């Protein structure tokens, strides 16, 4: 009898063999939260976008893509998000390569994290004063006779650009720094002793090993910039040159009270981001993505 019993594992053992045990239950609160504040609203929004105030189920999408004032917001947003993301990365990589060698990294990191914690509205407020026609920047330019009149750097594309760069850069930088410090320093030493100069070391050793990480940093930074709203309104010209897609969604929801249309715009926003994510991840798959250490030891 006892033989038969020992041959059959209890339900608990069988579940734990499949990775389900008491510890698994700990993810329940997170799962519930995810369902309640992400999955449900998303599905509800998706459904809402197909239930327009008037017309067939695709009426909202037809309206959006039939009106240049609406569909141009996609390009406006991409024209902000992509350059900002690329510039953040291009600046972050050399800075991170240097900072990796510093002894007082933590101090620098703390300074860099500050803009993240300040929030976009405070940064926008500061930039309005600093970059505005009567701000320091403009005054210095005029004092040095580099500019005939007050420089116009707010309430247009460049105001939003600057704000996105300032709030987004620390994030991109910290991600990049963590990827760069993850590369075995012996690899650079090996490259140097075998005759690679600084540029060759970067080109042949750091760059190929960094690409997969930089792709992820690009995506996270891009998605953040693509959802720009407060700085586009505060520092930009939300009626024209910086009428980004989130402004369009906001206007549909809270100026025209058309939640269905606003949901459709949100879905379009998500789709554009997904396309960019797919392109970048596809390109990333072409590169080496394994360990960044030099040996088994």
Partner 1 sequence: MSRAFGTFNALRDVSLTIERGEFIALLGPSGCGKSTALNCIAGLLATTGGAIYVDERRIDRLKPEDRGFGMVFQNYALFPHMNVRANVGFGLKMRGVAKDELKRRVDAALELVRLGNQGEKLPGQLSGGQQQRVAIARAIVIEPPLVLMDEPLSNLDAKLRLEMRAEIRRIHNQLGGTTIYVTHDQDEALSLADRIVVLRDGEVRQVGGPEELYAAPAHLDVAEFMGFRNRVTGKVTGVEGDRATISVGDTQLSGKASGALQPGSAAALVARPDDLTVGATGIKASVESMEYRGREFVGLARAADGTELVFHGSERVAPGTAVSLAVDPARAIVFPVSP
Binding to partner 1 by residue 174, rule CB under 8 A? Answer: no
Q: Which of residues 260-289 bind partner 1 (CB under 8 A)?
A: 287-288
Under the binding rule (CB under 8 A), the answer on residue 199 touching partner 1 is no
56 binds partner 1 (CB under 8 A): no
Residue 124 or 210: which CB sits closer to partner 1? Answer: 210
CA torsion sign for 25, 30, 32, 35 is negative
Taking CB under 8 A as the binding criterion, the range among 73-81, 82-90, 200-208, 261-269 that sits at the site for partner 1 is: 200-208
Would you say 188 or 258 has its CB closer to partner 1? 188
Of 105 and 293, nearer to partner 1 (C-beta) is 293
193 touches partner 1 by CB under 8 A: yes
> What's the closest the beta carbon of residue 293 comes to partner 1, in angstroms?
7
189 interacts with partner 1 by CB under 8 A: yes
**Site for partner 1 contains 205 (CB under 8 A):** yes
Does residue 296 bind partner 1 (CB under 8 A)? yes
Residue range at the interface with partner 1 (CB under 8 A); choices 115-123, 172-180, 182-190, 253-261: 182-190
Q: What is the largest CA-CA distance in the chain?
A: 99
Interatomic CA distance for residues 265 and 248, integer angstroms:
7
Residue from 95, 112, 187, 223 touching partner 1 (CB under 8 A): that is 187
191 lines the binding site for partner 1 (CB under 8 A):
yes
Three-class secondary structure assignment of the chain: CHHHHHHCCCHHHHHHHCCCCHHHHHHHHHHHHHHHHHHHHHHHHHHHHCCCCCCCCCHHHHHHHHCHHHHHHHHHHHHHHHHHHHHHHHHHHHHHHHHCCCCCHHHHHHHHHHHHHHCHHHHHHHHHHHHCCCCHHHHHHHHCCCCCCCCCCCCCHHHHHHHHHHHHHHHHHHHHHHHHHCCCHHHHHHHHHCCCCHHHHHHHHHHHHHHHHHHHHHHHHHHHHHCCCHHHHHCCCCCCCCCCHHHHHHHHHHCCCCHHHHHHHHHHHHHHHHHHHHHHHHHHCCCCCCCCCCCCC
CA distances 214 to 40, 83, 219, 264, 278, Å, are: 32, 15, 9, 31, 15
Answer yes or no whether residue 291 interacts with partner 1 by CB under 8 A: yes
Q: Can you tell me which of 82, 196, 220, 253 binds partner 1, judged by CB under 8 A?
A: 196
Does residue number 66 form part of the binding site for partner 1 (CB under 8 A)?
A: no
* Interacting residue with partner 1 among 12, 58, 204, 285 (CB under 8 A): 204
At closest approach, how far in Å is the CB of 104 from partner 1?
16
Minimum CB separation of residue 201 from partner 1 in Å reads 8
Residue 180 found at the interface with partner 1 (CB under 8 A): no
Residue ranges that bind partner 1, judged by CB under 8 A:
184, 186-187, 189-197, 200, 204-205, 208-209, 287-288, 290-297
């Amino acid at each position: 009898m006892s033989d038969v019993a020992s041959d059959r594992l209890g339900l608990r053992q069988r579940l734990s063999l499949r990775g389900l045990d008491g510890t698994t239950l700990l993810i329940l609160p997170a799962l519930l939260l995810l369902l309640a504040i992400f999955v449900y609203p998303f599905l509800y929004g998706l459904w809402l976008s197909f239930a327009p105030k008037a017309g067939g189920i695709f009426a909202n999408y037809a309206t959006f893509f039939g009106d240049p004032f609406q569909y141009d917001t996609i390009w406006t947003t991409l024209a902000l998000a992509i350059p900002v993301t690329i510039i953040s990365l291009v600046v972050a990589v050399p800075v991170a390569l240097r900072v990796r060698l510093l002894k007082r990294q933590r101090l620098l990191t703390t300074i860099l994290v500050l803009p993240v914690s300040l929030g976009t509205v405070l940064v926008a407020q500061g930039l309005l004063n600093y970059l505005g026609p009567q701000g320091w920047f403009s005054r210095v330019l005029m004092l040095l006779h580099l500019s005939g009149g007050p420089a116009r750097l707010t309430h247009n594309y460049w105001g939003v650009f600057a704000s996105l760069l300032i709030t987004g850069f620390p994030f991109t930088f910290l991600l990049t720094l963590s990827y760069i410090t993850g590369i075995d320093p012996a690899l650079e030493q090996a490259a140097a002793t075998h005759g690679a100069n600084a540029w060759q070391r970067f080109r042949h050793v750091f760059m190929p090993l960094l690409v997969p990480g930089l792709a992820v940093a690009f995506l996270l930074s891009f998605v953040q910039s693509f959802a720009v709203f407060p700085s586009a309104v505060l520092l930009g010209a939300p009626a024209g040159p910086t009428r980004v897609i989130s402004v369009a969604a906001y206007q549909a929801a809270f100026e025209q009270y058309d939640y269905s249309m606003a949901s459709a715009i949100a879905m379009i926003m998500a789709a554009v981001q997904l396309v960019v994510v797919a392109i970048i991840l596809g390109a990333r798959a072409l590169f080496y993505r394994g360990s960044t250490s030099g040996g088994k030891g």
